[in-house]
Structure 1
Amino acid sequence: ILGGFFFFNADNFIPFNASDTSSFNAIAITGTMTLYAFLGLECATIPADNVKDPVKTIPRATLLGTLITTAVYILGTVVVMGLVPLDKLTNSPAPFADAMKVMTGETGSYIVAGGAAIAAFGALNGWILIQSQLARAISHDGLFPRIFKKENSNGVPVWGIVIGSALSSLVMLMNYTEGLVEQFKFIILLSTLCTLVPYLFSAAAYVAISLEGKKSKKPGTGIFILGGLTFLYAMWAIFGAGEEAVFWGFILLLAGTPFYVWLKWKNNLQNR
């Protein structure tokens, strides 16, 4: 990143908004797609049982990791935009490799492309394992079918991995008529939207739970400020997802209603 500033060209940042939409809409959709890169930070709570003093350790690690990641993302993006001209960057399938090519030539671009591929496979592997853990936790709470908490001899919720991976593949096929870039963009926005819904309710729940715990005291304004800002940000990011992602996200959320009713009915029968 530091070496890239020696080849920096500030003219590559003009025009700042190269899209066909207004600056407000462009910033909104950029904010939503940027949030996709930070999804999963809540997964730090999954190994809480195996972490020493998780109440303090996990929040600190999450905040520190988020700050470091943000700094790397911002610096890396600024350097790439400063090295690669806008007309090439718009259609580039590997912008970091193209930026490295400006500094070191073909060899450097191949090395960066190879590293990006390895990182992508590692991230994919992590997400596949995480999705099964989340489904298993929800199943233990009685809000997901029991098949998701079934484990093999090694303690792995294998059915959660299989079903989750199959559903992810199905979602990708929903937009197969579009180009690869548009397809990837659609998946990012849809995934982010589905995550923003619980974020939005979590912000409201934070205020409600905080007020519940302060019945005998006057609630501080910080509770309303933090909860309100989080709620507004989630709403703004949902707006940035766009009409298509919001439409399909709404359909997916409604599709889960029959499963919720069925599970509640089964749980009531078992508790009688």
Structure 2
Amino acid sequence: MAGIVPNIDLLNSNAPFGLTFVYMFNDTIANIVMAAMVISCFGALLCWQFTLSRVFKSAAEHGYFPKVFARVNSNDAPVRGVFILLAVETLLTLFTASDSLREQFEVLVNLAVVTNVVPYVLCILAVPTMMRMAGVAESRIKRSNYVFGAGVIYCLYAIYACGFDAMVGSAVAVSIGLVIYVLRKAWATRKAHRLQQSID
């Protein structure tokens, strides 16, 4: 886009890609491209919504989320979970609302990036332990640690690049998730202990 559209126009535009195609071709081509991008975004959001609902369903089946997320209809679709997640996402969107749609989009993207990178870091840190449990030679694990270290450094850089606000927001979200997980785990353990006592 830089070099095609004047920088001041890019800075003040809410649709820089569409503006670029206006400069390259005409308004009609730009509208077609923007419509295709909107359709693509809807498709990506729908795919993500269905994927997320399945993740919550699996977690609910293992007791990490309320059972409502595990309920499915006759087509094996977790419809209730989809609507609950949609309501939560709508509330989060309203909380981050701003006068500029672009700024709101950037806030949500940065928040999502940091929140999603944290599990990647945890997974990377768990790989050496998993390799030891699988009986992999210690020398191979030590060589792999360089790759794991590079992955962690890159993830930390991605978190840093998202900005301070995204880091704070994600820290709050992850902290809430950890508290819920600990409370849920403690409740499940206590319930299992009471059940065992009643059997004995």
TM normalised by structure 1 equals 0.65
Say whether residues 1:181 and 2:102 are aligned partners.
Answer: yes
The runs of 5 or more residues in structure 1 that have no matched partner are 1-79
Matches within 5 A, 1:39-58: none
* CA distance, structure 1, for counterparts of residue 117 and residue 50 of structure 2: 21
TM superposition shift of 1:265: 3.2
Give the one of 165, 168, 173 matched to 1:252: 173
Q: Does 1:197 align with 2:92?
A: no
Out of 105, 111, 117, the residue aligned to residue 38 of structure 2 is 117
Q: How does 1:41-190 map to 2 (within 5 A)?
A: 80-190=1-111
> Which has the bigger relative contact order, CA under 8 A and spacing at least 6?
1
The answer (yes or no) to whether the contact 1:140–1:149 under 8 Å persists in 2 is yes
SS at match of 2:75: coil
How many residue pairs match? The answer is 193
> Aligned AA for 2:159?
I
Whether the aligned pair in 2 keeps the contact of 1:210 and 1:223 (CA below 8 Å) is no
Offset, 1:212:
3.8
2:2 counterpart SS class? helix
- Taking a change above 3 Å as real, the CA distance of residues 179 and 103 of structure 1, as seen in their structure-2 partners, is closer
RMSD over aligned CA atoms reads 2.0
Q: 1:210 to 1:81 in 2, by over 3 A?
A: farther
Q: What is the rounded CA distance, in whole Å, between the counterparts of 1:216 and 1:228 in structure 2? A: 18
Do the aligned partners of residues 216 and 245 (structure 1) sit closer, same or farther apart at CA in structure 2, a change above 3 Å counting?
closer
Q: Deviations over 1:197-231 (max 9, x none)?
A: 10111111123322443465522554112211111
Structure 2 SS opposite 1:81: coil
Q: Using the alignment, how far apart are the partners of 1:249 and 1:217 within structure 2? A: 35
**8 A Cα contact 1:101 1:109, kept in partner:** yes
- C-alpha contact (below 8 Å) 2:125/2:148 kept by paired residues: yes
Q: In the aligned structure 2, how far is the partner of 1:158 from the partner of 1:252?
A: 24
Identity %: 27
Q: Does structure 2 conserve the Cα–Cα contact (< 8 Å) formed by 1:97 and 1:112?
A: yes
SS of corresponding position for 1:235: helix
2:28 and 2:77 mapped to 1: Cα distance?
A: 41
Per-residue CA deviations over 1:49-81 (Å, capped at 9, x if unaligned) read xxxxxxxxxxxxxxxxxxxxxxxxxxxxxxx33
For residue 126 of structure 2, what is the amino acid of its counterpart?
Answer: A
